[in-house]
Chain A
Amino acid sequence: MDYINLALKAIFVENILLAFFLGMCSYLSQSKKVESATGLGFAVVFVLTLSCPMNWAIKEFLLNKGALASWTKIAALQSVDLSFLSFICYIAVIAALVQLVEMVIDRFFPALYTTLGIFLPLITVNCSILGASLFMHERSYDLTHTIVFGFSSGLGWFLAIVALAAIRKKIRYSNIPEGMRGLGMAFTVTGLMAIGFLGFSGIDLDKEPAPKAAPVAEIEADVVAEAVDLEEDA
């Protein structure tokens, strides 16, 4: 139950984009078409699911105080605390991982590469990837929690960018004031979407939820919230 709660929280209640504003740059620039939004969304889910556990391992086995001593068995390393290096290690892991993933996909899954390939380089500088690793660090998740958190944060980001791309497609022919077209409208729509997602924060995840009914209700509520947003903008 704990893991489902964490996942729901990361996807809806504390959506990495709508509540923490991470990954805004590529979110705004890649949301003009639904296809490219979907492609980038998948790439983010993919990289987040891999990078969070990898950075967790770096933190647990290299950076934390005494972490080096735990597996090298050298007593002198007991007092070494490298956690100040976390930023540079995480970003290096992410940059290297993205390159690696790009090469592996290119070599073994050419079909996937044609859809995801162009988006992968963009991901290194997507704040949501580094942000998720930093949240993992700050909240001291264990390995399973890290994997669940990474995957569901990616999913939340995916949901947000695809929703925005769909809305932008719908409002393309609307009569919007001139200065508001494009970027201004994208921000306003995102604001309305964020208000919609705020509704989820009313759900108390700490309590034991009613058996199996809860997730379905939330997905329905989400669909309704998006439909309302679509109507408002149409």
Chain B
Amino acid sequence: MAKAKTIILDPLSDDNPITYQVLGVCSALAVTVQVQTAFVMCIALTLVLAGSNLVISLMRNMIPSRIRMIVELSVIATLVILVDQVLKATAYDVSKQLSVFVGLIITNCIVMGRAEAFAMQNNARDSILDAVGNGGGYSIILILVATLREIIGSGTWYGFRVLPASYPGNGLMVLAPSAFLIIGLMIWAQRTWMTKKFEED
């Protein structure tokens, strides 16, 4: 049980996929203008990650190592198509807002990286736990960045107004550069307070 606990908890803080492993940053930055889109993106990514980790871990002894990348890519792409179709059918507005970024889960390095680094060596149960942990770590950062950007940018959270209506809104927070700056500051905070050693540049 101790092992299962570290598999889930490590990626949430010390081994966070975004701020420590630097994986999957692309989509993390792009969908964080609003909490709602970020939330849907987190669910989509975690589902794809769990599915791909499960399938690849079950097939790990059958995949020839020379073509494993292609196999992994096709498993991931199939899952992403499923998620995209479900999103289009159930939450069309959000799927329009996310536009190309659902499709880009295919090239999201977290999914590929976890399949390659974890699911190829471990059994199905651990792989799913790993997916939950990494999906959770990704979600924490995404929701945090989205919360900051939505509250400071437009004074709302998940569409509800939290700051008084007289709050004028901060245009910069809605635009692309603020995402870079916020993630930069978060990395600073994490590296200052966390215990694990990081690689020197």
Contact = CB atoms under 8 A, between A and B. Distances in A.
A127 B107 contact: yes
Q: Helix, strand, loop or mixed for chain B's interface? A: helix
Interface string B41-52: 000000000000
Contacts of A24: 25-26, 29
Given A20-B30, A25-B23, A135 B100 contact: yes
Interface string A164-195: 00000000000001111111111110111011
Contacts of A100: none
Interface in A178-220: 178-188, 190-192, 194-195, 198
28 contacts: A18-B176, A20-B176, A22-B26, A24-B29, A25-B23, A25-B25, A25-B26, A29-B22, A84-B84, A87-B77, A87-B81, A87-B106, A91-B73, A91-B106, A92-B77, A95-B73, A125-B107, A127-B108, A130-B104, A130-B106, A131-B26, A178-B191, A182-B201, A183-B187, A187-B183, A188-B184, A191-B184, A194-B176
A2 interface: no
A96 B45 CA distance: 25
Interface string A118-135: 000000111101110011
Contacts of A9: none
B54 interface: no
Contacts, number: 133
A150 to B, nearest CB: 15
Contacts of B170: none
Nearest to A182: B201
Given A91-B77, A184-B184, A187-B184, A21 B29 contact: yes
A95 B107 CA distance: 11
Given A179-B189, A182-B200, A125 B109 contact: yes
A50 interface: no
A85 B81 contact: yes
B84 to A, nearest CB: 7
A88 B81 contact: yes
Interface of A: 18-25, 28-29, 32, 84-88, 91-92, 95, 124-127, 129-131, 134-135, 138, 177-188, 190-192, 194-195, 198
B103 A179 contact: no
Interface residues of B, number: 47
Nearest to B100: A134
Interface of B: 22-27, 29-30, 69-70, 73-74, 77-78, 80-81, 84-85, 99-100, 103-104, 106-109, 112, 175-181, 183-185, 187-192, 198-201
A118 B109 CA distance: 19
A28 B103 contact: no
Contact of A184 (B73, B78, B187): B187
B137 to A, nearest CB: 16
Given A87-B106, A130-B103, A130-B107, A21 B30 contact: yes
B26 to A, nearest CB: 5
A184 B188 contact: yes
A183 to B, nearest CB: 5
A130 to B, nearest CB: 5
B56 to A, nearest CB: 16
Contacts of A88: 74, 77-78, 81
Contacts of A85: 81
A127 B26 contact: yes
Contacts of B23: 25
A54 to B, nearest CB: 17
Contacts of B192: 178-179
Contact of A181 (B25, B185, B201): B201
Contacts of A183: 22, 187, 201
A194 B188 contact: no
Contacts of A125: 107, 109, 112
